[in-house]
């Protein structure tokens, strides 16, 4: 637990930088998937100033809204802005502008296999936590929660947009999961996440290789 959202962002960046160095040393490359959110964009800006071997790092998306390129709703827009000074960074965008969302999901699943094997094993998946208990775009009550035979799925309408998201199989296969949680509106759901409450979507993410970095507001202190 840290004092502020900025401190959480800095700690998250340091964890990823160290993990990337270890991953490259062990496997010659590193595959990391990022979620969206205000604190994560601060984390990524901090990360680009750290000693990260970007030439052998593949950056993927955990989820994305189905919206036009450049739309402020797109996680990709902020991801590219946050990493724009990182030399040689390779960002693999979810192809949400394809006419058929199911085809877009299948295309991204193939990208995962090309980069991370079959079945794909990502080195690190960064997750956030919503006030309703969602993570990635694994949304309460959505059929995507029950997808077990695909690594990428399509959601129904949520906050005005359909989305493409990594599913539980892809997330739970990762070598490490990094939760970044800030803000007092997350207090109840953070408690339930830490209690292993599987009635919320976030609670169904594997715990064995997970680390949670949160601020005092999210922790209710």
> Would you give the end-to-end CA distance of the chain in angstroms?
10
Q: Is residue 33 part of a domain?
A: yes
- Which tens digits make up the pLDDT trace of 15-27? 999 999 999 999 9
Whole domain around residue 77: which residue ranges?
A: 5-214
CA 207 to CA 133: how far, in whole Å?
16
Name 97's Cβ contacts closer than 8 Å, sequence gap at least 6: 68, 69, 104
Q: Is residue 220 part of a domain?
A: no
CATH number for the domain harbouring residue 73: 3.40.50.1360
The confidence score (pLDDT) of residue 185 equals 96
- Which tens digits make up the pLDDT trace of 153-209? 999 999 999 999 999 999 999 999 999 999 999 999 999 999 999 999 999 999 999
How is residue 22 written in tokens?
């270890």
Structural domains in the chain (count): 1
- Which tens digits make up the pLDDT trace of 73-92? 999 999 988 887 666 789 99
Q: Are the beta carbons of 40 and 32 closer than 8 angstroms?
A: no
Q: How does residue 9 score in pLDDT terms, banded at 50, 70 and 90?
A: very high
Strand partners, 158: 161
Q: Is residue 219 part of a domain?
A: no
pLDDT higher than 70, residue 102: yes
Q: Is residue 221 part of a domain?
A: no
């Amino acid at each position: 637990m840290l004092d502020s959202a900025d401190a959480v962002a800095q700690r998250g960046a340091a964890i990823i930088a160290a993990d990337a160095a270890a991953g490259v040393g062990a496997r010659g490359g590193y595959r990391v998937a990022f979620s969206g959110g205000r604190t994560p964009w601060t984390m990524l800006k901090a990360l680009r100033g750290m000693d990260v071997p970007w030439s052998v790092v593949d950056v993927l998306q955990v989820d994305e809204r189905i919206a036009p390129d450049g739309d402020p709703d797109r996680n990709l827009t902020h991801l590219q802005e946050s990493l724009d000074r990182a030399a040689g960074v390779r960002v693999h965008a979810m192809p949400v502008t394809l006419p058929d969302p199911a085809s877009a999901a299948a295309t991204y699943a193939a990208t995962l296999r090309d980069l991370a094997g079959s079945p794909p094993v990502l080195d690190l998946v960064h997750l956030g936590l919503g006030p309703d208990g969602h993570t990635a775009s694994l949304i309460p009550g959505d059929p995507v929660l029950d997808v077990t035979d695909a690594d990428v799925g399509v959601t129904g309408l949520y906050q005005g947009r359909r989305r493409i998201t990594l599913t539980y199989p892809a997330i739970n296969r990762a070598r490490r999961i990094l939760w970044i949680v800030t803000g007092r509106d997350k207090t109840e759901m953070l408690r339930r996440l830490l209690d292993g409450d599987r009635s919320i979507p976030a609670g169904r993410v594997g715990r064995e290789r997970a680390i949670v970095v949160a601020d005092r507001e999210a922790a209710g202190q």
